[in-house]
Amino acid sequence: MAKDAMRNLLSVDGLVDFSSNDYLGFARNENLSKQASIFLEKDSQKNGATGSRLLTGNHDLYVELEDFLTMHHKSESALVFNSGYDANVGFFSSVPQRGDIIFYDELVHASIRDGIQMGHAKNYKFEHNSIDDLRRHIERSRNRDGKSEIYIATESVFSMDGDSPDLVGLANFCTENGCHLIVDEAHATGIFGEGRDLTCQLGLEKQVFARIITFGKALGCHGAAILGSDTLKSYLVNFARSLIYTTALPPHSVAILLGSYHYLRDFGEEQCKLLQQHINYFKIKLEQLGIADIFIESNSAIQCAIIPGNATVKPIASKLQQEGFDVRPILSPTVKEGEERLRFCLHAFNTTKEISQVLKLLKSEFK
């Protein structure tokens, strides 16, 4: 492994959180466990799930959660997986068939890539957020017999950049060209579209073939779901190996998810508003301090400063940490060499004072 690229398991307690995915503060919200206990009371199975969802693990709370998700995210159906990783691997390894083609944004998450590698469809990456490049690829490689299904994979908020594709443009492109659009909504779940996702915010539910929503980020819990048609759900129940060959989530995990979603529906608006205010404030401060040009353009809770070189970005992150701010460096090979960065995750619970302090400190590192 290259010098300065070695990864370590860190634990940084007591610092101001600018790095977790707990965007709305739900992971630290005591009300959620209270809400969860109400749901848990209803289920006679209290501890482990006891088996795969296809055997004994499909306890009643799953039905309640999937019904809720279907309504909340305005989808025909929802299928819960143990994690976002499992959902992506399950979908991409089983749905696209031999002879089909998958085009994926070059920056999609590792779980999408791993799923694609496990399946049999041909696959090509296209330039980040470029519908023009996607069009060129499709024209070049569409099967002449026209029988192959084409799948397009992207994210609504890119995890290491914080930016978003032109989702309306992409959805229209897919509709016009008969392609199936899959949107990983991990970093948009619970935030956009009044606590739903970006597909909902843009009214694209009917044009998106499948959405992957995850619960380990703004929902503050764990797990994920694939949103799509009833037929898709039934197919995945029969063929997605990451759903079939694993023990289901325990009842308390599903109960906390129900608690979290009910809380989001009833009280989430305030947290979403606060988060948006902090995103706006962060961007204003970047302009005021004259450091906006090193940041990737983003309207999400993920804001990244490009500071090339593992050896350069690591000490700056350490300095911010020493001063009390938990900001993490993202090193190559996680991102391309030369595009190493500091990744700021903003939260509803951060204060404007914290944001202004950490950015002043960052600016002082460039003197």
Ligand X SMILES: Cc1ncc(COP(=O)(O)O)c(C=O)c1O
* Residues contributing to the site for ligand X (CB under 6 A): 83-85, 88, 109, 111, 155, 159, 184, 186, 214, 216, 224
The DSSP element (H or E) to which 213 belongs, if any, is strand 210-214
Least separation, in Å, of the C-beta of 60 and ligand X?
23
Least separation, in Å, of the C-beta of 158 and ligand X?
7
Least separation, in Å, of the C-beta of 109 and ligand X?
4
Residue (301 or 359) nearer to ligand X, CB = 301
Before 315, cis peptide (omega within 30)? no
Of 142, 171, 172, 140, nearest in space to 154 by CA: 171
Residue (35 or 164) nearer to ligand X, CB = 164
Residue (109 or 328) nearer to ligand X, CB = 109
Residue (75 or 214) nearer to ligand X, CB = 214
| Strands, sheet with 101-105, edge to edge from the N-terminal-most edge strand | 77-81, 224-228, 210-214, 180-184, 150-155, 101-105, 122-126
Least separation, in Å, of the C-beta of 185 and ligand X?
8
Residue (285 or 328) nearer to ligand X, CB = 328
How many C-beta atoms lie closer than 10 Å to residue 38's C-beta? Answer: 12
Q: What is the dihedral of CA 311, 316, 319, 323, to 10 degrees?
A: -160
Of 76, 81, 66, 91, nearest in space to 230 by CA: 76
Least separation, in Å, of the C-beta of 88 and ligand X?
6
CA atoms within 13 A on the CB side of 73: 32
The DSSP element (H or E) to which 333 belongs, if any, is none
Residue (244 or 284) nearer to ligand X, CB = 244
Least separation, in Å, of the C-beta of 184 and ligand X?
5
The pair of structure tokens assigned to 264 is: 């989001």
Which residue minimizes CB distance to ligand X?
Answer: 84
The pair of structure tokens assigned to 265 is: 């529906």
Residue (186 or 200) nearer to ligand X, CB = 186
The DSSP element (H or E) to which 215 belongs, if any, is none
Least separation, in Å, of the C-beta of 215 and ligand X?
7
